[in-house]
Structure 1
Amino acid sequence: MRRILLLSFTALSVAGIAPALAQSAPPATQPSAAVAETVVTATRIPTPIERVPGSVTVIDRQTIEERGYQTLAEALVSVPGLSLIQSGGPGQPASAFIRGTASRHALVLLDGVPVNDASEPNGAFNFGNDLLGLEVERIEVLRGPASSLYGSGAIGGVVNIVTRRAPADRPIEAFGELAGGSNRTLRGGGGVAGTVGQFDYLFSLRSLSTRGTDATPGRFAANTGERDGFRGLTGTARLGWTPDARLRVEGLANWRDNYGGLDNVPADDPNYSFNDRRFTGQLRAEARPIEAWTTGFRIARTEDRRRYTNLPDSLSRSSTDDLYRGERTVYDWGNQLRLPDAGPFDASQLAFGLTHEREEVRQASGGSGFRTTTNADASSTAVHAGYQVRLLRRLDLTAGFRNDDAEDYGSHATYRLGAVLALPEISARLRTAYGTAFKAPSLYQRYGVISGFFQGNPSLRPETSEGWEAGVEFDIPLAGQRDLVTLGATYFANRIRDLINFDAAFTSLENIDRARIKGGEFTATLRPARWLTATAAYTVTDARDARTGERLARRPEQQLVLNAALRLGDRVTVAPELVLYGRSREGAFASYRDDGSANTTARDNKAGTVLNLTATWQATEPVALFAEGRNLTNSRFEPANGFVIAGRTVVAGTRFRF
């Protein structure tokens, strides 16, 4: 693994920097078009992406449509440093491992509000449930420790789903989509948005139904070919009032209701099903008392309800009826203060605020012979501050600090430091960052009970980490073009302590594990012509148990994602995507032989390849026709042992905006 990392960094550095030095540099005041986007997630302050010290990927609306992403899980596969492991197709459980950290170490936000399910036993987010309707404007993914910004859970990184705003220049805009295809797949959605005087609005609805494919591998002797269907409905409403340029008040509501079938590895299970509902609402007011100071207050509420049922059938006489209810209420006061320039320092900004959060869990589940319950709630209050400044118009410095004070696990402080050095003489940017992070023990881990068997541990401490990264990104000007090629390389390392796991008797939980992770992310964007853009994201990850040296489960050692956008004329775009997964480790008793029996020792999951292709024809200015093909080779790759990815599907439809 170390040899792969060294060879990759050396090859990329020699190949990229040498041509860049050989060419005449573009003027320092003329930034590359490849780094013009502004992001908020990385610093809580709107910042041009080339001045952000952390690693950030933005998946915008155009990319979502060009590549045919219909779910959050499909879109995140393309992010370097992120491994998305899903147990089948839409609606099936999916975990994101950001830079080798655990799935519970990925914090998910909806317009800045945490939406990780409080009732999930580990506090992890299920990435398999969210549809990417037309109301989603972009997805921002920040990799690396970010608890100094967002508190508990942001050890691996943060995924922020940003919804679209109403157009400011028209009273009404209608948009929609209708598509159908193989596996009896039908999806549709639509909405209206606009601005009338001081008021703006957006209403949208999105649905997806499919017969699905069989998530149980055909290699299992007990496989019956039973499909895992899915149907989901998502709605969004936003209302805003802007009486003048210094004040805005808005409300946002998002609702999701999903139904689907599940399998019970290592066998099909025709009666195992789920219903997953989530409601998120927030009311936010933002004011600018003076030109340099912006202050805002937000109240947000998230409610999750999940139910899993499994009735007796010919394959099994056991039954299950599990109900999970989780609630989170957030009060957040945030400020941005623009400070005056001083000599060599400019673009100086201070962000500070106060956040209060309360979680509640009411959970009851069980099967034959046992019952699990959790009835608990807890609150925490945090103060946070961040500062960023630019020196000599080329060195950006950032610092952040946060202290979380919880009523049940005490006080915990985190911080983050970062720097970005612009080298316009060679069209390069150097980045480095160091930070600490933590994941609070979930309410189940502290207070859950399994009758006669398990008792949660109220004395659990937070899982903690410290990590750093260093990277370079540079443009190669060739053939009269400033950024014919953009190359990037980032090395990252992370140490995690006090990981929560079962005690020796499996009767409770303790802070007993440690992990060490290192790796590299390598990106390349090629723009040889106006009609072609090609990208590559290659990730090498070495994630290990620090006590035993064993590889951590379900983290592919290598992953390569290739994307391209071929614009044929003014109206046709063809976007192929190829995802190559390296081998990954699977724990003992979590992998299965072909006869369905469990392996008693850890095994490797084999490498796999997935090919997707989307073509779009902009028939008229407001109407587009498209065709999407997923897993066109019908790969039976098992990202998690005992679960195959969704089989081949082809969907065609139309998308419009008037």
Structure 2
Amino acid sequence: MTATPVARSADQLSQPATVITRSELQGLNAVNLGDTLSALPGVTSSGFAPGAGRPIIRGQDGPRLQMLENGLGIADVSVLSPDHRVATETLNATQVEVLRGPATLLYGSGAIGGLVNVVNRRIPLTVPAALGGELQLRAASGTGERSGALEGNGGADRFAWHVDALKARTDDYAFPGLSVKNDPASFSGRLPNSDTDNREYGLGASFVADRWLVGASVQDERSTYGVPAEEAFLDMKQRRADLLARYTGSGWLESATFRLARTNYEHSEIELPTREVAVTFKTDATEGRAEFKHAPLAGWRGTLVLQAQRRDFSALSPTGDVEIVEPVKTQADALALVEERDFGAFALDLGLRTEREEHRPTLASTSNRARSFNLMSVSAGGLWRFAPGFNAGLTLSSNERAPTPSELYTNGPHEATATFEVGDASLRKERSRAIDLTLRKTDGPVRGSVSLFQQRFSNYVFGQFIDGNGDGVADRVDEAGTVDPAGEFVFLQYVQTSARFRGAEFELLADTPLAGLTARIFGDTVRATLADGSPVPRIAPQRLGVGLRYAAGPVKLGGNLTRVSAQNRVSLLETPTEGYTRLDLDASWRIRAMGVDTELFALVRNATNEAYRLHTSILKDEAPQPGRSVVLGLRSRF
């Protein structure tokens, strides 16, 4: 697990974590990050569109879920709205790390609900013994996917290099039934404006010495994707440069690691059929991290972290007018210390982070004032290895989060979500207290984990639909925000109250009497309640899944059957969502010829062509999820 300061595997941490390996990603890779990770216990997808699904962990998403690439933040604008894509790809990832629950100590207030770290080999950490690489090709029926990814790695003496490229396209996806339930006039067959077109290129190099390493990488990502149920599409581009320096010392300093990322991000929301640009979002961001690991001191090993972030954000029309959110400069500086000690059967970790975050609107005429927040987070975790192959982890934490610029300064219509959003520049910092208990069995024919959690918030920030006239229907407004029953937009206001999230998740794996056959059962549930007793909006319903996986020599077969309950516990002005059952199948065959390992694979997603909608999607009533799709592909390593 690279996203934690403790050098342990995920099943030896006090906090629930999952590492998805490169081979496992083959059966999970979807068009967006949220769908790729949605098979994990406790993780769902925002389900907005094929090009823009964002992960949700234990009911937490948006500004409470930190997206990382190689340990540094992904400086996109996906926290602003569910129609904005997470600007990273998993087709070229070596692994994806998911940490459930608060991870604010090392990564700041944006990780108050968890984090996802996408790890790739763009900056080589070692010099390869020989030239090598990998090629992956995929095609799918229901989505019309055509994708390919290629990477190469090489080096000589102390120099190592890496190159990668990918291209992925999908058409409007097929779905069963009608796009709007019980509306024969709505779309059927394929969902209009749900196509995607993504490409990414990367290049990196390192100089590796006995005690130190210096490396750098650059990447360029472009993505164009439609927004279902809206006559608009998004055109995104991002350029990012990373630097890495690492020194392995002796004496009191075990290692020092320096990371720096510079990102230029931009996307335009383009209206159809005129293809005119309505608004362009831009972010220029720089993030730096320094980590110092010290040698054992009275048995304690620890990491000191210094972190600094600078970000310029704007959302402007082609004429330079402010759209949705005011231009804002954000500055954040932090100091964190995490210490851990192993007492044999017990391990203890303690952490403290102090942070200052400031948001400054940049327009001279703005009526919104600058806001600054002093944040403090503390955590204590314990791991008890109470029997061979068993352990129990307990984590207690107190965390604080600063409101984002979108929660503070938003004021305008958002075409993609059909909402008129209004922020509140007087919002206070958000506080949470969390407890997490996990029981694991790591060895033997039956393995798995069970986790129970609770997180209480004060000053919880969320977007609430407003019913000003009390008729039980959210107010509709025009482009100026004036109440109009025929208005194009639903009025949404950012407000604060207290909230409580509690739930459970589990996953069990069992070796069956038939050699090579493994059974899996998993499930999760979360219940989120506001101070007045009403539910938090768009919380995923309970899930229960079973699966079988068979491996014998070069052949692997698998299947997962997932039952998702109906969600009838809905917030004000939110509609219920019916339950559904989804079946997914996969098969692969590995062959080796002329020194090349090739794996041929087939996936059948939603094999029964089930009609279903995601309660977490703001577009669920207009955009059902894809139907059956058969994916064929190959992956070759050379």
- Pick the TM interval, shorter chain: 0.7 to 0.9
Out of 160, 171, 179, the residue aligned to residue 130 of structure 2 is 171
Q: Note the 1:320-359 alignment, pairs <5 A.
A: 321-339=278-296, 345=299, 348-359=300-311
> Which amino acid in structure 2 is aligned with residue 417 of structure 1?
A
- Quick one: structure 1 residues 539 and 246, their matched pair in 2 at CA, closer, same or farther if it must change by over 3 Å? same
The answer to whether residue 404 in structure 2 is matched with residue 442 in structure 1 is: yes
Q: CA deviation at 1:446?
A: 2.9
Q: CA deviation at 1:233?
A: 0.7
Out of 293, 313, 338, the residue aligned to residue 361 of structure 1 is 313
Out of 593, 603, 620, the residue aligned to residue 575 of structure 2 is 603
CA distance in 1, matches of 2:137, 2:390: 44
CA distance in 1, matches of 2:265, 2:393: 38
The answer to whether residue 401 in structure 2 is matched with residue 429 in structure 1 is: no
The answer to whether residue 386 in structure 2 is matched with residue 420 in structure 1 is: no
- The aligned counterpart of 2:499 is 515
Residues 137-189 of structure 1: CA distance to partner in whole angstroms, max 9, x if unpaired?
A: 11111111111121121121011111137574423102102232324321112
Unaligned runs of 5+ in 1: 1-38, 476-481, 589-599
Q: Note the 1:382-531 alignment, pairs <5 A.
A: 382-391=334-343, 393-407=344-358, 408-425=371-388, 427-450=389-412, 456-474=423-441, 483-501=444-462, 512-528=496-512, 530-531=515-516
- Quick one: structure 1 residues 510 and 260, their matched pair in 2 at CA, closer, same or farther if it must change by over 3 Å? closer
Out of 507, 523, 526, the residue aligned to residue 541 of structure 1 is 526
**Higher deviation after alignment, 358-367 or 192-201:** 358-367
Out of 372, 377, 380, the residue aligned to residue 332 of structure 2 is 380
Aligned length in residues: 577
Q: CA deviation at 1:69?
A: 5.1
Contact 2:150 2:165 (8 Å CA) reproduced: yes
CA distance in 1, matches of 2:600, 2:463: 52
Contact 1:108 1:159 (8 Å CA) reproduced: yes
Question: Matched residue of 1:647: which SS?
Answer: coil
Identity %: 20
Q: Note the 1:256-335 alignment, pairs <5 A.
A: 256-264=221-229, 269=230, 271-290=231-250, 292-312=253-273, 321-335=278-292
Question: Matched residue of 1:431: which SS?
Answer: strand
CA distance in 2, matches of 1:95, 1:532: 33
Question: Matched residue of 1:74: which SS?
Answer: helix
TM-score (norm 1): 0.81
Q: Note the 1:160-309 alignment, pairs <5 A.
A: 160-164=117-121, 166=124, 168-182=127-141, 183-213=143-173, 217=179, 219=181, 220-225=183-188, 226-227=191-192, 228-242=194-208, 244-264=209-229, 269=230, 271-290=231-250, 292-309=253-270
Q: CA deviation at 1:283?
A: 0.5
- Quick one: structure 1 residues 601 and 366, their matched pair in 2 at CA, closer, same or farther if it must change by over 3 Å? farther
Q: CA deviation at 1:62?
A: 1.6
Q: CA deviation at 1:48?
A: 2.9
> Which amino acid in structure 2 is aligned with residue 198 of structure 1?
R
The answer to whether residue 7 in structure 2 is matched with residue 46 in structure 1 is: yes
Q: CA deviation at 1:198?
A: 0.5
- The aligned counterpart of 1:104 is 63
Unaligned runs of 5+ in 2: 359-370, 414-419, 469-480, 482-490
> Which amino acid in structure 2 is aligned with residue 433 of structure 1?
T
Contact 1:232 1:257 (8 Å CA) reproduced: yes
CA distance in 2, matches of 1:644, 1:330: 38
Residues 566-607 of structure 1: CA distance to partner in whole angstroms, max 9, x if unpaired?
A: 11x31111122333222235867xxxxxxxxxxx84331111
Contact 1:100 1:541 (8 Å CA) reproduced: yes
Q: CA deviation at 1:434?
A: 0.8
Out of 553, 556, 559, the residue aligned to residue 573 of structure 1 is 556
**Higher deviation after alignment, 202-211 or 274-283:** 274-283
Q: CA deviation at 1:373?
A: 4.6
Q: CA deviation at 1:71?
A: 4.3
- The aligned counterpart of 2:600 is 625
**Higher deviation after alignment, 205-214 or 412-421:** 205-214
Instruction: Tell me: higher relative CO, structure 1 or 2? Use CA pairs within 8 A at least 6 residues apart.
Output: 1
> Which amino acid in structure 2 is aligned with residue 647 of structure 1?
G
Question: Matched residue of 1:605: which SS?
Answer: coil
The answer to whether residue 122 in structure 2 is matched with residue 156 in structure 1 is: no
Q: CA deviation at 1:49?
A: 2.8
Out of 60, 68, 90, the residue aligned to residue 132 of structure 1 is 90
Q: Note the 1:87-102 alignment, pairs <5 A.
A: 87-88=48-49, 90-91=50-51, 93-102=52-61
CA distance in 1, matches of 2:264, 2:546: 37
Q: CA deviation at 1:370?
A: 9.9
Residues 478-510 of structure 1: CA distance to partner in whole angstroms, max 9, x if unpaired?
A: xxxx51001322110001121235698899966
RMSD across aligned C-alpha pairs, in angstroms? 3.0
Contact 2:423 2:494 (8 Å CA) reproduced: no
Residues 451-493 of structure 1: CA distance to partner in whole angstroms, max 9, x if unpaired?
A: 9x98754433222211111121125xxxxxx510013221100
CA distance in 2, matches of 1:380, 1:473: 37
Q: CA deviation at 1:520?
A: 1.0
CA distance in 1, matches of 2:93, 2:495: 38
